[in-house]
Chain A
Amino acid sequence: MAAIENGSVTSSSRRADRSLLAAALLLPGVLPLAQQAHAEAAPEQAVVAAKVLDYQDRQPGLERTHVQAPAVYLLLPIRGEWSLEASLVQDSVSGASPRYHTSISSASRQTERRSAGDVKLTHYAARQSWYAGAAVSDEHDFHSRALSGGASFSSEDNNRTLNLGAAFTEDRIGATGDPTLDARRRTMQVMGGVTQNVSPRDIVQGSLTLSRGTGFYDDPYKFPDHRPDQRNQLVAAARWNHHVESHGATLRSGYRYYADSFGIRAHTVDAEWVQPVGSRWRITPGVRYYTQQAARFYVDPVYDAVLGEPFPPGWTPGTISSPDQRLSAFGALSASLKLDVTLDAAWAMDLKLERYEQRADWRLGGKGSPGLAPFSARWVQLGVSYRF
């Protein structure tokens, strides 16, 4: 009889033989064949996914760009330690893409086709992974080639992951109607980030991305548009994901700071609520606010008294200036709703709707650029994936 003191068995009295456990261990299939040793597990199933994006933006009195982009994605696990990912997208862009200030509404319509694809090979080892990738994007007036590589390292307890990456991109720029334009630009980018589990319910992530580009940044469809031939960019981002146990949901939130040598400074805050409904459905509403300060060479739609429209006051050939609305000061709000459903062991579908509204006077802490019409856009994306 074991000695019992204060209602507990003292360990010195134990003669553990664990015979029943030994017998249970003989049962078939009660222990996994091979325990997963990788912190960052290599995928075990292949995935084929297809998505269709429909994008439409507009300004008062004008339906601008309409994009339809079918995309396919393939993930192929290779021998448990490697994976190969590839994606292809074909955009059909129609509309009044080349535009000056919105006060001018004489843009000619055109239809563009873009084909883009990328491949990425990842090697998984214990608590680390390495990848190399390549991407191409082709339009008749724009060609882009990129190479990237990086690694991810997890701490012993898997509570911290360090991500490092670098990429090199070379773009060639032409223009419809100007066969003589054959310009280039090269961009080098480095990225570092840390993901840390701070509690069972909270994960924080910080990342810093720096890039340096040189070459042709002008918009060949805008005149006059002449920009610096160097652009340095910085993105600092923080994310916090919080699991709300009472609702079985996750709140994802993030802040992003952007600065570049054009003088643009931008802040983004976003939040989304990921709510599982039953075991198959998930509904994810989200909101985002974006505010930016104009590039220092952005010019308002005020024109030179002598030259008139579209020349900014005091314009001379070679003046660094741009009327591109994307370089103006503005604020923007967007709201999105995503629905995911897992149909069965192999099939899953998702639908995402997003609405974007941009206004000059929604800029935070200052006036937005004057004389610009409101801009809005909507996205509808439908996806289906199959695993095998």
Chain B
Amino acid sequence: MLPATQGQAGAEDFEFDAMACPCVLHLAGDDDEAARTHRAVAAQAAIAEVRRIEAKYSRYRADSVVSHINATAGTGKRVAVDEETAQLLNYAHRLYCDSDGLFDISSGVLRRAWDFRNPALPDKHHLESLLSCVGWSSVKWDGDSVGLPRTGMELDFGGFGKEYAADRAAALLIERGVVHGYVNLGGDIRVLGPRPDGSPWRLGVQHPRNAGSLLAELPLSGGALATSGDYERYFELDGQRYCHVLNPRTGFPVRYWQSVSVAAPLCSAAGALCTIAMLYESQGLEFLARQGEAFLAVDHVGRLHRQDITELCT
């Protein structure tokens, strides 16, 4: 017989770039030829799924669903959307409602006011005109079709698209029998299952102020881990840090948290929770406690806050 022995463990990293991030699928299991090939085949399918979502919801592609929606801005027209897009818009609506309007997928236009390579505050009038284009509550969404009422309005799925892709890729891998490993899309991680020996993966959380070091190492056997922070894109001006997480009401960067990490069963939930906690600023802790998922957060003076984070090893 050609297949090799059973019971040996092997693992591979499948690295790729997607959604402007370095991504990796770490897949483990038996070390025989059939199992390795099976993982490689499953990995190709998972990568294809990530790329499908990227292409479908990229605002940089003229043929994407998001570009079609954004083209309706101010025209009075609506675009009928497919089932998947409808469910994502429903989720976005739910995030908006549960965050008192802080998580708003129409707030992406505010990016135009901020150039994080150039430490300067935006022009007040420019920012005000952009703020007038923000507001999910004014978006015409009836469950089947969507339209943007004001010229200049844009929807941006960047706030949860990557996390959604991580969940989809993970589900696809598990369905194909790859049950050991994790999907890491630019730091948004969904775990497929424990290491082949049953022990958890040790996932590092980036320290928000020391780029080369870890804040913590979390043992995860399942579920997802996402982190939002003020340290990826920012500038400092007059001793104040201005990061890329923008409050949709003021158009200004949030200030309270250096970093928020959330562990939850789904990456889509973990990612949204840490972003919303960042947006809630000083009330973020209360929000996280209410949601009940495990978290690890560092506030503006470097104090650590956590909930259930040692209970992750399940």
Q: Which residues of A contact B (CB under 8 A)?
A: 1-2, 4, 7-9, 11, 13-21, 23-36, 40-41, 43-45, 47, 49, 51, 71, 73, 75, 85, 87, 118, 120, 152, 157-159, 161, 163, 195, 197, 199-200, 203, 205, 239, 241, 243, 248, 250, 252, 274, 276, 279-280, 282, 340, 342, 344-346, 348, 350, 383, 385, 387
Contacts and interface: CB of A to CB of B under 8 A. Distances in A.
A45 B40 contact: no
A385 B12 contact: no
Given A24-B91, A24-B272, A75 B12 contact: no
Given A17-B290, A73-B2, A279-B14, A9 B177 contact: no
Contacts of B8: 195, 203, 205, 239, 241, 252
A279 B197 contact: no
B95 A23 contact: yes
B37 A385 contact: yes
Contacts of B170: 32
Nearest to B40: A342
Contacts of B41: 45, 345-346, 387
B198 A197 contact: yes
27 contacts: A4-B305, A7-B304, A14-B289, A16-B291, A17-B291, A18-B293, A20-B272, A21-B264, A21-B293, A23-B95, A25-B269, A26-B87, A29-B168, A32-B172, A51-B2, A73-B2, A75-B3, A87-B2, A158-B197, A159-B198, A163-B6, A203-B9, A250-B31, A274-B10, A279-B15, A383-B2, A387-B37
Contact of B95 (A7, A20, A31): A20
Contacts of A385: 33, 37
B12 A27 contact: no
A41 B177 contact: yes
Contacts of B7: 161, 163, 195, 203, 205
B40 A36 contact: no
Nearest to A154: B7
Nearest to A342: B40
B197 A20 contact: no
A11 B167 CA distance: 28
Given A15-B290, A23-B95, A276-B12, A200 B197 contact: yes
Contact of B307 (A9, A200, A239): A9
Contact of B164 (A25, A30, A43): A30
A152 B30 CA distance: 14
Contacts of B276: 20
B287 to A, nearest CB: 9
B304 A36 contact: no
Given A19-B291, A197-B9, A248-B13, A11 B305 contact: no
A161 B6 contact: yes
A27 B306 contact: no
Of the candidates B8, B38, B272, the one having the most CB atoms from chain A within 10 angstroms of its own CB is B8
B308 interface: yes
Nearest to A343: B40
A261 to B, nearest CB: 27
Given A8-B306, A29-B171, A348-B37, A85 B3 contact: yes
B90 interface: yes
5 closest cross-chain pairs (CB), A and B? A16-B292, A197-B197, A195-B7, A30-B167, A32-B174
Contact of B176 (A44, A71, A73, A248): A44
Contacts of A18: 291-293
Contact of B171 (A21, A32, A197): A32
B13 A279 contact: yes
A27 B268 contact: yes
A13 B33 CA distance: 52
A381 to B, nearest CB: 10
Given A30-B168, A75-B3, A87-B2, 4 more contacts: A18-B293, A30-B266, A197-B9, A197-B198
B31 A27 contact: no
Given A21-B265, A85-B3, A197-B197, A43 B290 contact: no
B100 interface: no
B94 to A, nearest CB: 4
Contacts of B91: 23-24, 26-27
Contact of A34 (B175, B196, B305, B307): B175
Contacts of A345: 40-41, 44-45
Nearest to A348: B37
Nearest to B271: A24
A35 B290 CA distance: 29
A17 B175 CA distance: 29
Contacts of A11: 307-308
B216 interface: no
B11 interface: yes
Nearest to B48: A345
Interface in B24-62: 31, 33-34, 36-38, 40-41, 43-45
B112 to A, nearest CB: 28
A243 B174 contact: no
Given A75-B34, A203-B8, A241-B9, A33 B175 contact: yes
Of the candidates B272, B290, B293, the one having the most CB atoms from chain A within 10 angstroms of its own CB is B290
B303 interface: yes
A21 B269 contact: yes
B168 A279 contact: no
B1 A85 contact: yes
Contact of A30 (B9, B171, B179, B195): B171
Interface string B158-180: 00000010011011101111010
B273 A31 contact: no
